[in-house]
Structure 1
């Protein structure tokens, strides 16, 4: 998602919990980089601490 600020556009990566429909974590950067998206996802996993096996990608 791109957001306009008073200076320029910034990119916002948001992780939403689909069960609670709450924003779990977010990260911003000047450009959309996959590292920023991965950072937001890793921060969300560390914050929520899911049970073993739930954060594995198949």
Structure 2
């Protein structure tokens, strides 16, 4: 599996959590599965939102 490259992020938002808007220094990485049309990606996320985003997934 290749490394995930963060999406093209506007310069003024590169250190801002995309979930809550707080300053951040981490990335939430979404790894696409075999049966999903979405590509793998990484977006900036703070520690609190990253913890919530990594909770068990639901099948919808």
Q: TM-score, with normalisation over the residues of structure 2?
A: 0.31
Q: TM-score, with normalisation over the residues of structure 1?
A: 0.31
Q: Which has the higher helix share?
A: 1
Larger radius of gyration: 1
